[in-house]
Amino acid sequence: MHPVTTVHYLALSAALLLIGTVGVLTRRNVVIILMSIELILNAVNINLIAFAYALKQVNGQVFAIFVITDAVAEAAVGLGILIALFRNKETVLADEIDLLKW
């Protein structure tokens, strides 16, 4: 029976980061891109908590709270932008929003 060590948490966090990055880079739906960003922020939080636990400090948990706060703000602003965009362009697909391209 192997104990769960910091390395396992780091590997899980790296896996979540990669899954989130794939989601951000390949999906066309903006809602799913925002959900992938939430996944990436959770990977960061796992790292912070794992090191806070390993180093017997509480600072990592405080920083995780700040990361969660930023995630909330980002989700609120992102979804507000998405609603405004949908009202103007009638689409949620990222590659049809090409106003700045020529």
95 or 102: whose CB is closer to other proteins? Answer: 95
Question: Tokens 């600072």 sit at which residue?
Answer: 59
Spatial contact of 43 and 17, defined as CB atoms under 8 Å apart = yes
CA distances to 20, 29, 40, 50, 59 from 14, rounded to whole Å, are 10, 24, 9, 13, 21
Buried b (16+ CB within 10 A) or exposed e, 44-53: bbbbbbbbbe
* Binding flag, residue 47, other proteins (CB under 8 A): no
* Binding flag, residue 88, other proteins (CB under 8 A): no
Amino acid code (one letter) for 3: P
Minimum separation from the CB atom of position 69 to other proteins (A)? 5
Return the residues of window 5-44 that contact other proteins according to CB under 8 A.
5-7, 9-12, 14, 16-23, 25-29, 31-32, 34-36, 38-39, 42
Residues at the contact surface with other proteins, assessed by CB under 8 A: 4-7, 9-12, 14, 16-23, 25-29, 31-32, 34-36, 38-39, 42, 45-46, 49-50, 52-59, 61-62, 64-66, 68-77, 79-84, 86-87, 91-95
